[in-house]
Amino acid sequence: MFVEGIITHYNLSIKAKNVAIFKNTWMGNELCVIDLNLKKRREKYIHDNL
């Protein structure tokens, strides 16, 4: 069973629609912020040493 991520923040305001998903990758914890308005995907890598 493959789980892509856990939705940790879901904002349905008028101006901002963002979905933040945490994933465990081989590089560490990956924070994927998906802007539903711009339809872009911004990724920030958070490593385990934080």
Residues 4-44 pLDDT 10s:
554 444 444 434 455 555 555 555 555 656 555 555 555 55
Query: Rounded distance, CA 35 to CA 26, Å?
Result: 24
Q: What is the pLDDT of residues 15-25, one digit of tens each?
A: 445 555 555 55
Task: Say which amino acid occupies 5.
Answer: G
Asked whether residue 50 carries a pLDDT value surpassing 50, the answer given is: no
Query: Rounded distance, CA 1 to CA 10, Å?
Result: 24
Instruction: Quote the pLDDT of residue 1.
Output: 37
Residue with tokens 């560490």: 28
Contacts of 19 (CB under 8 A, 6+ apart): 7, 9, 10, 33, 34, 36
